[in-house]
Amino acid sequence: MRTHAAVTHNKTERNTSDLFKAAVSGWLGTALEFMDFQLYSLGAALVFHEIFFPEQSAAMALILAMGTYGAGYVARIVGAFIFGRMGDRVGRKRVLFITITMMGICTTLIGVLPTYAQIGIMAPVLLVTLRIVQGLGAGAEISGAGTMLAEYAPKGKRGIVSSLVAMGTNCGTLSATAIWALMFFLLDREQLIDWGWRIPFLSSVVVMGFAIWLRLNLKESPVFSAVNAEDQPKPHKSANNSDDGSFFDMFRSKSFWLATGLRFGQAGNSGLIQTFLTGYLVQTLLFEKSIPTDALMISSIIGFMTIPLLGWLSDKVGRRTPYIILNITAMLLAYPMLSIIFDKNNQVSVIMASIIVIHNIGVLGLFALENITMAEMFGARNRFTRMAISKEVGGLVAVGFGPLLAGIFCKMADAWWPVVVMVIVYCCIGLFSALTMPEVKDRDLSRLDDAADDMTLN
């Protein structure tokens, strides 16, 4: 007969092979999510205005394309709640299988949609429908992957291990950008609009298939297994924490709002630099399409060095300090970098270098810290739900509607300076959250209380 200690040991023990599978699974899932994200954002910025909104003016078509882009972010909040709650109750593994399948199928189906010229208004309606279903899955994907990997990673190495999730965003962005760049290189304009735009979306099925197979062979998170074991004593919860885990208690959690602020700063910059900036340069300022796409591709390659470096650094000095430095730096660079980018008189190499700098600092740098910091801020009982919803609330406002608002503001002002103002505002929100949050590096992830609501982190 096995002892109680043996049962506990068998339920929660994970070896190096399990950690590797969890890391690759999180990396692939996040890669697919951001591949979807970048495929659609570049499609919306570069070709969808002609395929799905051909009867509108160039500026209005871009705004409508960004609006369909934002529709997926509304659905993400619903998906974050549904699948986040499910992940906290039935396990991380099952939910991650569902989310990866939903995202992958919808992305592939976008590649077979009829165009406006073929079926009229039903074309953009179908596009929005797929974006909504895709958003339901994506709303919990990266939070689930971040939660799973954080709960697998050993103390002292969580930052560097969790940077693999952020690396997945880089791989996805790089892959999507490279595919679009290849389409523009190989096809002329007529071929691209006729059939070439479908190839990037259809190609995502390869990543989806491998990610699904891997997740079928993934073990459950050791923290979830330990916390939910029937024969285990419940993990420590502080006496002064009255949070009973309900949905409305989430909005009374200081950790929830601090995490949302951190997400808002990073996500806002992402929507402006990776999505709006690309469309504005091409559609309004008439830059060559290769300029923003090539710059983002090079920036993603550089991110393979900067992201793990920041993850490692956060394991040494904590999560707060790198957040503070990156937000301040992005604020200081916003005007000089963007003034270079929007000036057609500058050399192409200088414009691309400026995009690379602001993208690595204001987007990739902050995201390298985001997943592990948010995972450590929440307690084990509601980590998946609260991490997912805080990410998607920030994403809805900042990424979903940020590019749309930027298009409207720039059109009203007939200038690009509103983009600078928006970047600075996003960074101010992220900076305030970083200054206010407690240090959460190496916090015990089996605790039930949220970090900012109980400042005792041991």
In the 3-class helix/strand/coil scheme, how is the chain assigned residue by residue? CCCHHHHHHHHHCCCHHHHHHHHHHHHHHHHHHHHHHHHHHHHHHHCHHHHCCCCCCHHHHHHHHHHHHHHHHHHHHHHHHHHHHHHHHHCHHHHHHHHHHHHHHHHHHHCCCCCHHHHCCHHHHHHHHHHHHHHHHHHHHHHHHHHHHHHHCCCCCHHHHHHHHHHHHHHHHHHHHHHHHHHHHHCCHHHHHHHHCHHHHHCCHHHHHHHHHHHHCCCCCHHHHHHCCCCCCCCCCCCCCCCCCCHHHHCCCHHHHHHHHHHHHHHHHHHHHHHHHHHHHHHHCCCCCHHHHHHHHHHHHHHHHHHHHHHHHHHHHCCHHHHHHHHHHHHHHHHHHHHHHCCCCCCHHHHHHHHHHHHHHHHHHHHHHHHHHHHHHCCCCCHHHHHHHHHHHHHHHHHHCHHHHHHHHHHHHCCCHHHHHHHHHHHHHHHHHHHHCCCCCCCCCCCCCCHHHCCCCC
Tens digit of each residue's pLDDT (9 = 90 or more) over 73-131:
678 888 988 999 998 988 888 888 888 888 888 888 988 888 888 888 788 788 888 88
Q: How many domains does the chain have?
A: 1
Q: Angle at the Cα of 370 (from 278 to 381), degrees rounded to 5?
A: 135
Does residue 406 fall inside a structural domain?
Answer: yes
pLDDT (0 to 100) of residue 270: 87
Tens digit of each residue's pLDDT (9 = 90 or more) over 237-255:
444 454 555 667 888 889 9
Tens digit of each residue's pLDDT (9 = 90 or more) over 201-233:
888 888 788 888 888 877 888 888 888 765 454
Does residue 441 fall inside a structural domain?
Answer: yes
Q: Which of 37-51, 336-350, 355-369 has the lowest mean pLDDT?
A: 37-51
Q: Stretch 23-31: mean pLDDT, rounded?
A: 79
Virtual CA dihedral for 393, 263, 395, 142, nearest 10 degrees? -100
pLDDT (0 to 100) of residue 70: 61
Q: Which of 25-39, 129-143, 343-357, 411-425 has the lowest mean pLDDT?
A: 25-39
Tens digit of each residue's pLDDT (9 = 90 or more) over 258-304:
999 999 889 889 888 877 887 788 777 778 877 887 888 888 889 88
Does residue 255 fall inside a structural domain?
Answer: yes
List the one residue out of 5, 14, 27, 383 whose CA is nearest residue 219: 14
Q: Report the distance separating Cα 127 and Cα 106, nearest Å.
A: 10
Tens digit of each residue's pLDDT (9 = 90 or more) over 297-340:
888 889 889 999 999 999 999 999 999 999 999 999 999 998 99
pTM of the prediction?
Answer: 0.79
pLDDT at 445 over 70: yes
Does residue 4 fall inside a structural domain?
Answer: no
Q: Stretch 143-165: mean pLDDT, rounded?
A: 87
Does residue 74 fall inside a structural domain?
Answer: yes
Does residue 133 fall inside a structural domain?
Answer: yes
Neighbours of 188 (CB within 10 A): 10
Does residue 120 fall inside a structural domain?
Answer: yes
Question: What are 193's two structure tokens?
Answer: 């609009």
46 vs 151, residue with greater confidence: 151
Share of the chain above pLDDT 90, in %: 23
**CATH code of the domain in which 288 resides:** 1.20.1250.20
List the one residue out of 433, 434, 409, 411 whose CA is nearest residue 422: 409
Give me the domain span that covers residue 139. 21-228+246-453
